[in-house]
Amino acid sequence: MMKEDYLWDKTGDDAEIKKLENTLAAFRYQETAPPVLEQKVFTLEKSSPRRFFRFAFGFAAFASVVAVLSLLWFQLSGSKTPVVETVSETNVVNRAQKTADDSFVAPRETVETIKAFDETKPFIAPKIVKIRQTIAPVVRRREKITARNKKFTEPVETLTKEEQYAYDQLMLALTITGSKLKIVQDKVNGIEEQNAVVEK
Amino acid sequence: MKSFAQQLSKIALLAVFALSAIVVNAQDARLRFEKLNGLETRARDVIEVNIEGKLLDLGRRAMAKSKDPNAQKVAEAIKDLKGIYVRVYNFENENEYNIADVDEIRAQLTAPGWERLANVRSKKNNQKVDVFTMFTGDIMSGVAVVLSESKSIVVVNIIGPIDIELLAELGGKLNIPRMDIENEK
């Protein structure tokens, strides 16, 4: 019969347990130095191209964000600068005048005002500002100018394709007729004047 | 009642005759350009304009819409016009056309009804300009302008009344499309 006290706190005597202890003593834990592990040398690779690209993409993204922000900043600050506005308006009016057949006519007052603005050279902004300003706000300003011009220009009648063709043909025929009649008129008037001079 | 109906039909018949007479008279002012067709292949530039009927109405309507005061004047001057026919032939070199072709047009203008209004002859470029008019009563029913130079021929035939003085006056002032039209070959 085993004595449980010996198992717990080694009080008393238990021959059977002791015998077992002695038998297993060979396997008792003995504190020894830790085993020496094999050393492995890890060499760090140089920056791979993939890593470089990752960095490049990051930089490009950062640069584009900076560009967009600066563009926005220029836009916002540009709308307050009179010179920049002048540049854009001039462009828009010039374009409008080029394309204006009958639908859009810039009033002379606007053009004169813009010319007057152009003469104020001391207010000319740095070149880069001018270039940037002409990109985005053109559409907005064009709308503004169109809206402004609507006050001055009379409503223009639109012609259908057939009317336009007929008008062109008629005017061509009348011009040719008119120019030839003018030749005759000038010749007749010239002869009459010569006769008047001779009679004097 | 029957006699009234007969009288009405007679009046209607007379009106039809009168109208047809006016139409025939107006048609008399029309020149034939067939002889000039052969010049198309030889000319450097050819302008051919035929305006009548619906096209003329459209042109008049468009002209009336114009804000140009000169166009307004012209619109008034051509309000009763029935047709305009123009032929312009520009040649690269001198004497590339047969003067007989133009003389054939001038011969048509010797027909009764036509009256020579002006006749200009200039040695410069061998220029010959003739202006003829045709009247039906007091109303002008046709105008013809024939111009021949060493390198060009111009024939204009107008059917119906038109203020030619006004047209001459506005000749250089109208906003007209360019005249150098390429000949399609």
Quote the Cα angle for A106-A112-A114, to 5°: 85
Considering only the beta carbons, identify the residue of B62, B129, B156 that sits closest to A164.
B62
pLDDT of residue B21: 47
pLDDT of residue A142: 59
Query: Which sign, positive or negative, has the C-alpha torsion B87, B92, B97, B99?
Result: positive
B98 pLDDT band (50/70/90 cuts)?
Answer: confident
Here the tokens at position B15 are 């009106």
Which residue of chain B is at minimal alpha-carbon distance from A181? B168
Considering only the beta carbons, identify the residue of A154, A173, A177 that sits closest to B67.
A154
Q: What is the mean pLDDT of chain A?
A: 67
Q: Does A61 touch chain B (CB under 8 A)?
A: no
Whole-prediction pTM: 0.50
**Dist. CA B70–CA B85, nearest whole Å:** 22
User: Is B63 in Cβ contact with A170 (below 8 Å)?
Assistant: yes
Q: How large a percentage of chain A has pLDDT more than 70?
A: 50
Considering only the beta carbons, identify the residue of A154, A166, A177 that sits closest to B145.
A177
Which residue of chain A is at minimal alpha-carbon distance from B165? A181
Residue A124 or residue A106, greater confidence: A124
Query: Which sign, positive or negative, has the C-alpha torsion B46, B47, B50, B55?
Result: positive
Residue A105 or residue B80, greater confidence: B80
Q: Does A189 touch chain B (CB under 8 A)?
A: no
Q: Number of residue pairs across A and B with CB atoms under 8 Å? A: 124
Of B161, B94, B101, B172, residue with least CA distance to B127: B94
Quote the Cα angle for A30-A33-A38, to 5°: 130
pLDDT of residue A121: 52
Looking at residues A163-191, what average pLDDT do you find?
A: 80
Q: How many residues does chain B have?
A: 185
Burial of B86 (0-12, 13-18, 19+ CB in 10 A): buried
User: Is B78 in Cβ contact with A174 (below 8 Å)?
Assistant: yes
> Mind listing the pLDDT tens digit for each residue in A117-126?
455 555 554 4
The CA-atom distances, in angstroms, between B92 and each of A106, B89, B156 are 42, 10, 21
A18 pLDDT band (50/70/90 cuts)?
Answer: confident
pLDDT of residue B12: 60
pLDDT of residue B165: 79
Strand partners, B121: B128
pLDDT of residue A174: 83
Considering only the beta carbons, identify the residue of A163, A171, A182 that sits closest to B176.
A171
CA distance B173 to chain A (A): 9
Here the tokens at position B53 are 């009927």
Winning range, highest mean pLDDT, from A35-39, A84-88, A92-96, A99-103: A35-39
**Chain B residues closer than 8 Å to A154 by CB:** 67
**Range from A127-131, B87-91, B137-141 carrying the lowest mean pLDDT:** A127-131
Q: Does A7 touch chain B (CB under 8 A)?
A: no
pLDDT of residue A28: 85
Q: What ipTM does this complex have?
A: 0.72
Beta sheet of B139-148, edge-to-edge order: B45-52, B83-90, B152-159, B139-148, B127-136, B114-122
- pLDDT exceeds 70 at position B99: yes
